[in-house]
Amino acid sequence: MRLRAILFSTATLLLAIMMDGPLYAEMTYYVTEIEALPGATLGGAGAINNNGQVVGYCTFSDGRDRAFLWQNHTLVDLGTLPGRSTSRAYAINDYGQIVGECYQPGHYGQATLFDSSGAGNNIDLGTRVALAINNPGQIVGQAGNFVATSFDPTGNQNNIAIGPGASDATGINNHGAAVGSAFMAGSYHAIILDMTGGTNYTDLGSLGGHDNAPRAINDMGQIVGEAQAPSQPIVAALFAPTGIVTFGTLGGQESMACAINDLGQTVGWAQTGTGEWHATLFDITGNGNNIDLNTLIDPGLGWTLIAASGINNKGWIVGTGINADGYQRGYVLTPIPTPGALLLGSIGVGFVTWLRRRRSL
């Protein structure tokens, strides 16, 4: 018992150190461009799983979007649903299951489970949008009546409302905990949803402003998104039972946290002092040690990283940027850690694995 306690304390300390802002500054990244689909003018990456598979969508000159799957420089056009010209992929689990939406401009979208082979056997889950999927295959999003919904993955439309009126579900972890926001008492509040379809929602509160919304939850139960105080800009935040912790910006007005991995590494975007949007690695302690990801890549590559929208447990980051030729494209950042950061990262991942095993006993 004493050895176990020492190992737990040591791993916890190292994990806390690894999550702190200054350690991030020791890490640099390779940049890999995600090519656009043929004929597309714009591209961007939205999510990455632990196997390095990336999803997102490209935009064509006529305004159509098309969902894609990318892995090892291979791009797969995921197609659409019949009668829909546009598709977007928002999330992918570790088994390669992909969700998003297909729609026709001027009409509601249809929540979609995409055929990852690109053969077009996409499944219509019902109106309106699927935003997240976990490894057990649970899919959440928002139905056409603007209520947070758990979608039936078979497409048989046995969907379940999991939130109150005027709500959405934006994230779900592998334990089946789903988060989103709901309009309550004049503003949107962060909530933990009731996956049984009941009314046992957990209100995580708000800062009193209009927009308080989670975007992601990891397997440790950490929830990130954005929060707003009255008459104040929207800023990236951590939602917890003890309160809301805001992360600040890169010297500008606004920020948003989009994704968090099981080590607590959190990414999104923030405004700089000159008003530009830059991809950001946030300090979730709220101490303001946020890192502009543009400072952690080779400036000679000519990239400007605008937004980071996904991060996996290996620390790989995806998002959208402007490449050296001036085109908007998706990117993948893969870490080049220093020996010290690599050691801490290995211990941190080992600790998370050990903790999961303990929870399953």
In this prediction, residue 337 carries a pLDDT of 72
Give the separation between CA 246 and CA 250, rounded to whole angstroms. 13
214-241 pLDDT per residue, tens: 999 999 999 999 999 999 999 999 999 8
In this prediction, residue 54 carries a pLDDT of 98
Does residue 289 contact residue 332 with C-beta atoms inside 8 Å? no
In this prediction, residue 340 carries a pLDDT of 55
170-226 pLDDT per residue, tens: 999 999 999 999 999 899 999 999 999 999 999 999 999 999 999 999 999 999 999
Give the separation between CA 211 and CA 214, rounded to whole angstroms. 10
Residue type, 120: G
Per domain, the residue ranges of the chain are 27-360
Q: How many CB atoms lie within 10 A of CB 69?
A: 22
Segments of the chain scoring below 70 in pLDDT: 1-27, 338-361
Q: How many CB atoms lie within 10 A of CB 353?
A: 12
Give the separation between CA 219 and CA 84, rounded to whole angstroms. 35
In this prediction, residue 359 carries a pLDDT of 43
Give the separation between CA 10 and CA 258, rounded to whole angstroms. 29
Q: Is 229 exposed, middle or buried (0-12, 13-18, 19+ CB in 10 A)?
A: middle
Residue 53 token pair: 């598979």
The topology under which CATH files domain 27-360 is: Methylamine Dehydrogenase; Chain H (2.130.10)
